[in-house]
Structure 1
Amino acid sequence: MVVAIYKTELNTGRALLSNVTWDTLEKLDADLAETGARLTYLDGYLEIMTPLSDAHEEPKKTLGLLLEIYMLMRNIRFYTRGSTTIGMKELGARKEPDDSYSLGTRKSVPDLAIEVTVTSGGIDTLEIYRRVGVREVWFWEDGVISVYCLRSTGYELVSKSELLPELDLRLIEFYSRMADQYDALNAFMKLLM
């Protein structure tokens, strides 16, 4: 087994390895299970990220809570999947979304995946989601949400969610940037009433 370190970024806790087999991925996953490391895999490239910082976790949680409040207040049936690993060996792809949701019914592949981006570069996340068949992917970066919808040719950047077309993403962005999470959630909920 030959694994090459392709790139490391010590400041971010991220390493990108190449020539990694699926069997090696599974062994590393088991070995790192208790560390909180996140593993992303695509065609022999493995990205290992740890630890997840407050700069990542706080907006991720706030964004998820805002979305869940919206769906509850609008009686949209959803099932949160959190960061459940999706992908498989046959696809040559695997990812743990920051958050994910199935709308309407429980599904093995979520309809919506959310990624909070605090560092850039690394593995092509959209290619992983395309192979798996996730219908919509949101990227939150510096308080701005970019929405990608799956098409037959790949993902297309769109101006609003097709899964939740009535949702005003600019409001979600505004409340996700508020300094106090409780105040943000409370104000957003009052706005929806």
Structure 2
Amino acid sequence: MTSAILDSFPQINLQAKDPEEKFITSGVSWEAYETLLNALGDSSGYRLAFLEGILEIMSPSRRHELDKKNIGRLLEAYLEENRIRFWGLGSTTLRKVDKQAGKEPDECYCFDIDKNIPDLAIEVIYTSGSANILEIYQRLSVTEVWLWQNNQFEIYYLQNNSYEQRQQSQLLPNLDLSLMAQYVTISDPLEAIVEWRKQIRVN
């Protein structure tokens, strides 16, 4: 039944002329990184990642932002339907000077109570870069990271201070991320969220 429903919606047709732009440089001090964060401010369309003097600046593509929004809306619908208390922190800048690491996730969430460092970070990846995403999040002590690549989720859980890849979320063990991935790629966001809510109510 689920397959038939999904087949009735067109999938996203990724446009070749929708580039993501990245600038990577090394030898950057923590002070310079924080100065740039302050200069760009909250209204910036750029995302910054910092690890041990390596700075990556990324300007997301339109398809990147569409997927980011779709994932966030679908996840929040699941949390609402299941009465799971959450705080959505979006692309809040996460940083620890003592760990020389900083990152602006595509989406991030705290569960149960609000916290300085979120429990879950989500990254949409279309182009590779030099920034080691998992190393940054490990230094920031983010419990779980989802990487969205090639229309599917990769799940990493922090165990004994290192990430282990898992088949399902440890924070949300009843969430079928393989199924949710199919709704992320539906081109009509309204139809996707309506049908997703129907699906999770049934289950």
**TM-score when scaled to structure 2?**
0.86
Corresponding residue SS for 2:198 = helix
Corresponding residue SS for 1:166 = coil
Partner of 1:16: 24
The sequence identity of aligned pairs, in percent, is 41
TM-superposed deviation, 1:89: 1.3
Partner of 1:66: 74
Amino acid across the alignment from 1:137 = V
CA distance in 2 between partners of 1:111 and 1:35 (Å): 24
Contact 2:157 2:164 in 1 (8 A): yes
Partner of 1:103: 111
Q: Equivalent of 2:58, from 35, 45, 49? A: 49
The answer on 1:158 being equivalent to 2:173 is no
Q: List runs of 5+ in structure 1 lacking aligned partners.
A: 1-10
TM-superposed deviation, 1:35: 4.1
* CA distances 1:78-124 after superposition (whole Å, capped 9, x unpaired): 11111101112111000001000001110111000000111112210
Contact 2:184 2:192 in 1 (8 A): yes
Partner of 2:92: 84
Partner of 1:180: 188
Query: What is the total number of aligned residue pairs between the two structures?
Result: 182
Partner of 2:145: 137
Higher relative contact order (CA 8 A, sep 6+): 2
**TM-score when scaled to structure 1?**
0.91
CA distance in 1 between partners of 2:78 and 2:20 (Å): 32
Partner of 2:33: 25
Q: List runs of 5+ in structure 2 lacking aligned partners.
A: 1-18
CA distance in 2 between partners of 1:171 and 1:119 (Å): 24
TM-superposed deviation, 1:27: 1.9
* CA RMSD between the two structures: 1.2
Amino acid across the alignment from 2:56 = E
